[in-house]
Structures are given as structure tokens and as C-alpha cells.
Amino acid sequence: MKRIIPILLTGFFALIARGQEVSPDSLESKEIVLDEVLVSALRATKELPLTFSDLTKEEISPRNLGQDIPILMNFLPAVVTTSDAGAGIGYTGIRVRGSDATRVNVTINGIPYNDSESQGTFWVNMPDFASSTQNLQLQRGVGTSTNGAGAFGASLNLLTDGVSKNAYGQISSSFGSFNTFRANVKFSTGLLSEKFELAGRLSRITSDGYIDRASSELESYFLQGAYATDKTLVKALLFGGHETTYQSWFGIDAETLQSDRTFNPAGLYTDQDGGIRFYDNEVDNYKQDHFQLHWSQVLSERWKANLAFHYTYGRGFFEQYREEDDFETYGITPFEVEGELVTSTDLIRRRWLDNDFYGTVFSALYAADQWDFILGGGWNNYLGDHFGEIIWARFAGDTDIRDRYYDDDSQKTDFNIFAKASYVLKKKWRFFGDLQFRTVAYTANGEDTGLVDDTFNFFNPKAGITFNLNPLSSFYFSYAIAQREPNRNDYESGSPKPEKLNDFELGWRYTKSKSSINTNLYYMRYKDQLVLTGELNDVGAPLRANVGDSYRLGLEIDGRFSFGSKFIWQPNLALSVNRNLDFLFQRDGVLQNLGDTNIAYSPSVVAGNILTLLPMEDLQISLLTKYVGEQFMGNIDSENSKLAAYSQTDLNIQYQIKTRGFLKSIILSGLVNNIFDAKYVSNGYFFTFDDDFSNPGTITTIEGAGYYPQAGINFLLGATIEF
């Protein structure tokens, strides 16, 4: 299959290339409207009783200078982002309503993107993907039924670049602090013979990172071949990336945070002379290639249909220098040297993941005067090969290079089918219903997971109502049930349970020509929620545990206000209460009921603000501010687990120089992050362990924490030439 796909693509692109070029009269701004049909089965609209925010290419563009998609989404309501390297390039993370990335369902053109086993999203595998994104929608809460893992905090749907009617070319470059550099090229042939298009992008990003040695070398590509008519759209997409990042997930303790906030303990070891050194190749090295084939068809005035096939191939490793590791871990037989038994060695290991993910998604849409109906679903299969190799050892015993010291296989099959309908009554009322059935089968045989052979069946109903008070104002209410399976890391803790969520959303929307307000109140009640414990496993992945009953209660407000043609104000505010009910914790050897405690990584206040000044037609100046209240990194309300509140402000400037002739325009962009040079920490970890050695006969619970400091004031400058 890995060989067949490139052959099919080559033939498809060759067919497209036979068309005749048409004269360009604009850039990529003119796309085929039918592209939106690719995601229409999953997207929310203002007529539906769902809470969501949209972000377009035009809104992303001024700040799109190499930072990751989560960082570009930082100023959306109820969103908190972080960066391991401290500057938004490399490994980045996102939380929505306190829920981490494993609980945010992500699709690209309706195709699931979350890793099947960890349920996380790793944007570092597709660097500069924002440059090929037409728009995105973030649905908070359960949202509407979608493909892939269930949404427990939010759903994020991305639509890639649309089919351009006209040919264009684009060259972009940016540079900035920490030796950051990005370069990309984009092109489109426009519609050849008024039906065919070939488009693409190549990108490269490098950065040293704010944290010591937290370097990134990132490459990515995006190719699109399309056939488009008034009623038919066929798109073949091939995109992916290769990332090599020096590890920076270890964090630092509170003392080091004060004395040397950029210190990175990754790769640290002691040489034979007792000197402190850092291994120069303590890196992640991973490649990921995606293939998507989409067919969208207008069947009649009322019916549309979508069918898509996809395949993802991922492979790579992370490399580590290990000091004095036990022979037993690697199957090395102990031996004697001068009468002493040798049972440990310094070594360098690689832990590999080689995986395949493939499947199909489909939908049929019906629209009449009062009725809208969607039937859709998908089937996906994941095959994972986890194995470890020793590539060097001081004492190797009887092992050979690249002997596998573990070799695990896993498989996950996911099938879902959903039906959605909405009905308009007397132009004032719209009733919405959404039924989804999802079945998941997962098998694994790792030492960390144990033998796993689980099947889960979930029925997830949703219903809501929208009332249009007048053309400017509407109210909505919805209730949704969501259920989802544990991820691979959850099995490390024993026998995790699937979790269940009841989500209530009550909202009000006001929309006028130059102003809009969105307000919603939500209550999310969980059973057996898998909350973050604050701890990390041995590869830096966050651990979770079932907590019984818990809830999130919140109020979110966001708006957009235009004052004349020169000034735009976009504020948002999220207030929430996030609680575990009757939380049990074993302290000092005694199981205690701590009562109601705060859910980890769930700040009660998150606010954003964007002020945009348009002093002239081609100049835009924006001031963007984010405030995140204090949060606990654990679930026991320990003062040692607190992350202090912080505020960050960025300055963004974009100026467009319009030209005539071959060059269409030159766009200059500047971004000064954290202009007030705040010393803040956006993420960390918290752990406890029982110490029964210090005082024999007693057990004392010890607490510890680690922190991921973010960069102070830093900048990015860029230029884009369009032709």
C-alpha cells in the first residue's frame, strides 16, 4: 500500500497537468465554494445550538510566521496554550475549558488526526500547516458528532486550502529570536481547462528554542490535485512533515526556575572523568505522511454527498543517553570483571514507533425549506509497532547492535455512524437532533500496557433548540452525551474505565453589521472522568486517572466591535468552576477523602483581548493580550502544585505594498511576543510518592513539581511576495 499510493498520485497529477493554463487575475482568494462541503457534515453554524469560534486564513495570516497552530489559536475563548521549547515552535500544547489535547477531537477535511493510541495531536509532525489552512472551527464542549475520538473538551476542524480559480505563486520568509528561520513557497496553477488545479507548498523551519538546546529542524510539504466543476469536486491531497527536535519535556524545579530558567536537563550525563556533559543527539526524529482522496458531489438541488479515503504512515524514534541502566531492562546477561559482578551500563537507546492509519469517511446532506438532514460516519484502522533498540553500550554483553529489547504490537479499529437533523418551525424555532453510534476495538501487548483486548460500544445522543428573537438576536440550548475509551497511557495505571460526559449549553448570540456578542453558560458533568494527575510517564506523556464524579461549570463571553473603519475590538472572557467530587487520596499511608477539589490544569479565569488599528488601507496594527488565572497541576489542592496566574501581550504589525506587473504585492509582517517581558510559566507537572525509608515504620508523602518557563520578549519578522 505504501508503494501504490505515490503511483496513484503521480498518475492523478499527470492527468491534471494536461490542461491548458488560464491567465491569472487574482491570488488564492478566489476558491471553489464546493470546498466547504468537505467539512459541512461536521461544522456548526449560527443556526445550530452549539458553542463555537471560527478562525480564517485572513485572521491567521498576520501572525503566521512559523509558530504552531495551537499558538495561533491562543486568543480564542477558553483556550490555553503552551510550548515545551518556550517560543511556540517544536512541541506545543493546547487546552480548552481545562481539557488537554487528548480530549480535543481534531479532524482535517473531516479526516481524524488525533493519534489513535495516545489520542493526542502532535502539530510538530506537520510544521507550518497553518500556511495550507483555509479556515478552522473550534467547537467547545461536546459539539456536533464528528469522526475520530470523542470530544470531551472541544472539537477542532480544519479545512485546507480551497481550489483556486486563478494561478498564483507565493514566497515567504521570516526570522527572529533564538535563531528562528522559516521559508516556504506556495503555488497554484489555477483552473486548467476550467476544471483542473495543481497546488502545493514546501516549508522549512529551524529554531534554537528559548530553552537550552531545545532546537527544532522542521520540514513539511503539501500537494493538492483537484478536479472541480459546478457540481463535482475531487481532491487528492498528499501532505506531511519531518521533525527533529531536541527533547525539552523534562522541565525544571522551582529553585532552578529562579536561578537558571532556560536550563534543560535532557541529555545530561557524567563522563568517565567525572565531568558534566550533554548528549548532542537527545532528539525526537519522526516522519509522517498523509494521503487523502475526497469526492464531493451535488446530486440534486437538495442532496449533496461526500466520500473520502485516507492513509497515514508515521515512523520515527526518540533517542536517549542513559547512565547506569540495569541490564535486566535490556535482556543483557550480567558478567564479572575482576571479581565484580557488572549489572548496569551506560548506553544509547532508540524507542521506535512505526504505524499505519487508514480508513474512510462519508456523509450525505439533504436540505429543504424547513429540513436539514445529514447521515455520515467513518471506519478507521490503526496498526502500531512499538520497539526499542540499543545503538551503543559501554558494556553490551552478548547483545548485537539494534537488538530489540522490546517489541510490541497494537491495533485499534474505530467505526461510527451518525444522523443529524434540524427542523425550522414558523421561522422562529429550530429544533436539532444528533444521534451517533461508535464502536472501538483495541488490542495491545506492551509491558507498559499489559495484555489489552477491549471493545467499547458508545451511543452518543445530542439535542437542542434555537429561538430567533429577531433578526439580530437568538438564544439556544443543547444537551449532549459523550463517551470515550481510555488511551494507551491510561492502561499503565491498571484497568481504566471508559468515561462519560453530560454537557449542557445555554447561549445567546447578537449579531449586527459592525458588532457581535456570543454568550454561553455550560455545565459539564462527568462520570469516571480521566483527569490529568499532573504526573508524566518515562517518555514525557501526561498520565491520567479515573476520578469518579466531577464537573465543569462556566460562563464564556466573546465579542467583536467595529468603531468606524479604523478600529476593531475583540474581547473574550471565560469564568469557570472545575471540581472533583469526594476526591480520594492516600497521604502518609492513609486513604483520605479530600472532599471537593480543583481539577488539574483548569484555571477559573481565562481572558483574551485583541485591539486592531487600521490607520490606512494596507496597514494593520494589533495588540493581543492573554490572561490565565492560577491553576493547580494536581487534584489535591496542594500549594506545591500551583501555577501562578500570568498575562502575556503581543504586538503584531502587517503592511501590504501593492505593485503592478508580475509581482502582485509584498506583505511585511512583524510580531513582538510578550512585549512586557513577563517571566511566566504556562505549564508544568506535579508528582507525589511515599517515602518509607527516612523514618522506618512510618510513611511520608513527598511532593514535587516541574515547570516549563516561556520566553520573555522576542520577535519574528517576515516578508511574503505574491505573484
Say how far apart CA 13 and CA 226 lie, in whole Å: 9
Half-sphere exposure of 634 (CA within 13 A, CB side): 21
Say how far apart CA 638 and CA 642 lie, in whole Å: 7
CB 327 within 8 A of CB 344: yes
Q: What is the CATH number of the domain that holds 712?
A: 2.40.170.20
Give which of 186, 229, 182 is closest to 207, Cα–Cα: 182
- Rounded (5°) CA angle 581-582-584: 125
Partners of 606 in beta bridges: 574, 628
Strand runs labelled E in 141-264: 154-160, 168-176, 180-188, 196-207, 216-228, 232-246
Q: DSSP of 604-671, one letter per residue?
A: SEEEEEEEEEEEETTEEEEEEEEEE--EESSSS--GGGEEPPEEEEEEEEEEEEE--SS--EEEEEEE
Say how far apart CA 688 and CA 509 lie, in whole Å: 45
Kindly report the pTM of this predicted structure: 0.92
E strand or H helix at 39? helix 37-40
Q: Cell numbers at residue 254, please? A: 522551582
**Residue 246: predicted pLDDT:** 97
Give which of 528, 548, 419 is closest to 152, Cα–Cα: 528
Say how far apart CA 58 and CA 67 lie, in whole Å: 16
Three-state secondary structure of 65-87: CCCCHHHHCCCCCCEEEEECCCC
Which residue stretches of the chain have pLDDT < 50? 1-32
3-state secondary structure of 291: strand
Half-sphere exposure of 117 (CA within 13 A, CB side): 24
**Residue 33: predicted pLDDT:** 58
3-state secondary structure of 550: strand
Report how far apart, in Å, the C-alpha atoms of 139 and of each of 136, 332, 362 are.
10, 51, 21
Amino acid at position 565, single letter: S
Say how far apart CA 282 and CA 249 lie, in whole Å: 11
Pairing assessment for the beta strands 597-598 and 642-643 based on DSSP bridges: unpaired
Residue 237's contacts (CB-CB under 8 Å, 6 or more residues apart) are 109, 160, 222, 223, 224, 290, 291, 292, 293, 294
Helices and strands: H and E segment counts in the chain: 6, 42
Q: What is the Cα Rg of the chain in Å?
A: 26
Say how far apart CA 186 and CA 200 lie, in whole Å: 6
- Phi and psi at residue 499, to the nearest 5°: -115, 160
Longest dimension (CA), the chain: 93
Q: Which long-range contacts (CB under 8 A, 24 or more apart) does 270-273 make?
A: 270/323
**Residue 692: predicted pLDDT:** 66
Residues 243, 244, 250, 251, CA torsion sign:
negative
3-state secondary structure of 58: helix
CB 68 within 8 A of CB 182: no
553 Rama sector, left if φ>0, alpha if ψ -120 to 50, beta otherwise: beta
Half-sphere exposure of 654 (CA within 13 A, CB side): 22
E strand or H helix at 683? strand 681-691
For the chain, the 3-state helix, strand and coil shares in percent, each to the nearest 5, are 10, 60, 35
**Residue 35: predicted pLDDT:** 73
Say how far apart CA 284 and CA 684 lie, in whole Å: 20
Give which of 233, 360, 236, 359 is closest to 296, Cα–Cα: 233
Domain membership of residue 155 as a residue range: 4-722
Give which of 352, 462, 517, 344 is closest to 44, Cα–Cα: 462
CB 487 within 8 A of CB 117: yes
Burial 158-195 (b: 16+ CB within 10 A, else e): bbbbbbbbbbbbbebbbbbbbebebbbebbbbbbbeee
**Residue 34: predicted pLDDT:** 65
- Whose cell is 454561553? That residue is 520
Report how far apart, in Å, the C-alpha atoms of 81 and of each of 93, 95, 151, 486 are.
6, 6, 18, 23
**Residue 697: predicted pLDDT:** 63
Domain count, the chain: 1
Q: Cell numbers at residue 294, please? A: 475526497
Say how far apart CA 267 and CA 572 lie, in whole Å: 41
Say how far apart CA 327 and CA 258 lie, in whole Å: 37
Pairing assessment for the beta strands 542-546 and 530-536 based on DSSP bridges: antiparallel
Amino acid at position 476, single letter: Y
